[in-house]
A and B are shown apart, each in its own frame.
Chain A
């Protein structure tokens, strides 16, 4: 166990020091952009909207905005770090060493979780300047943050494995992730949508994460919390199996 812990902790230390070294690129931008969300949608437009499902609009969107930053940052950390390691070829430092692939995966995913969590904390602090946040259930809130950052770290890993150029690591976040986040109930309740679009929204994985997190904070969700956790578990296991298979086959990293 000790022999596995050292390589794992080495990858985690390397990953965390990487994104903290460049905190101006990794931590600061989400703090600024999320501040703008709170100013525009919370303080300026929010009072005109009134309440959403019985909550002030700023209170309703705060969990979604925090979750949005966690999703973006856990994904971005792994995709850019792993692709960077491929591009500069220093992934070979790990491949020549006797490290099992699941440890390499766990190390990078932990890096994604730590960045997602750290950015989540920063955005939460920003939110406290605009509203008094509630906390309905601490265990549910933490569990959702953890599972969501695992899911998107794994998704970032799969993207990085297949990426052959820097364009490839921005296509998914721009054309897939961002639309799914905006349509995932961050700014509205899906009850506002026509029935057809409510059914379409059920295919959006981010809907479950945003609503489960909102439940943890406000005790309010469009989706049953059990259903949300089942979906999160399914996504986690599926992406874990896919990424481990890809690493074991050496896709994108071995010739």
Chain B
């Protein structure tokens, strides 16, 4: 069974802005799914419709087989949502925010309190349980929203840019937490601007641009489409000009940094051969950008050209 099945979903806002233009998506149960797209592409609108915060114009959405039009309560009970923007009372304590959310899902106060303790501890917030939420740090507020989304133990967790503005260490610990949840069988749908995040975590991916799905495939297949990568080579000693690199697209960024574009079919050893024969020593090498980022930008460019 699909965890999430979206068919021909359209959304036109009251100001006539067409946010979604007939999108189709299928997220399998147990998947770790990335929904990527630039700002204003329609990611948050899609999530809003799935969760009941935005009214769709047409199309159908089914969550674990429950249609949001005819079986909305069951659909909602299956989803936990972590929105992009903070949406809890700034005057309540962390503990009461999480317990109250359990109450909204019909969970008794006793069970909600037990679960709140479990998730606040897992997310490192237990010590701050009696702190008024506005006094928490940005990272803590994001973790609080994750704890709140898990209180009814949903089968699917939807996270809309959960690590935006979160420091690297915390981001890594949130990734570990999400991987752990996914391994327990929870389907995870993630939108993010950090393409490294999507590449590290997600098995399947859809890219949305201007309200249309421009790619929907597995992460492995998508990355296999990558036919070139750009590398930076850091040199030990400065050089003034580049030797002939067998016709590879290259440029000297500064006296100790060379940028070279290498096609998938080419052998990277040839670069080192040329450098060695010219007595140029390389001390390190790195990708210019994340691999997915290059593909992502290519896909968006192609979509813009088709339009």
Contacts and interface: CB of A to CB of B under 8 A. Distances in A.
Interface of A: 2-4, 6-7, 9-11, 13-14, 17-18, 21, 84-85, 88-90, 92-99, 250, 254-255
Dominant secondary structure of chain A at its interface with chain B? helix
Task: List 3 A-B pairs, minimum CB-CB distance, nearest first.
Answer: A10-B103, A98-B73, A97-B104
Q: Name the residue in A4, A13, A98 with the highest tally of chain B Cβ atoms < 10 Å from its Cβ.
A: A98
A95 B51 CA distance: 8
Contacts of B55: 250, 254-255
Given A96-B52, A97-B101, A98-B106, A88 B89 contact: yes
A93 B52 contact: no
Contacts of B52: 95-96, 254
A250 B13 CA distance: 13
A160 B88 CA distance: 18
A25 B194 CA distance: 45
Nearest to A100: B73
Contact of A88 (B72, B87, B96): B87
16 contacts: A4-B106, A7-B105, A17-B96, A88-B90, A90-B88, A90-B89, A92-B87, A93-B87, A96-B52, A96-B79, A97-B76, A97-B104, A97-B152, A98-B106, A254-B53, A254-B54
B100 interface: yes
Contacts of A99: 104
B89 A94 contact: no
Given A11-B103, A89-B86, 11 more contacts: A7-B104, A88-B89, A88-B90, A93-B97, A93-B104, A95-B52, A96-B53, A96-B76, A96-B81, A97-B101, A98-B77
Interface of B: 13-14, 48, 51-55, 72-74, 76-77, 79, 81, 83, 85-92, 96-97, 100-101, 103-108, 148, 152
A96 B156 CA distance: 13
Contacts of A14: 92, 96, 100
Contacts of B107: 6
B275 to A, nearest CB: 56
B73 A95 contact: no
A3 B87 contact: no
Given A96-B76, A96-B81, A10 B100 contact: yes
Contacts of B89: 84-85, 88, 90
A92 to B, nearest CB: 5
B53 A7 contact: no
A214 to B, nearest CB: 38
A92 B100 contact: no
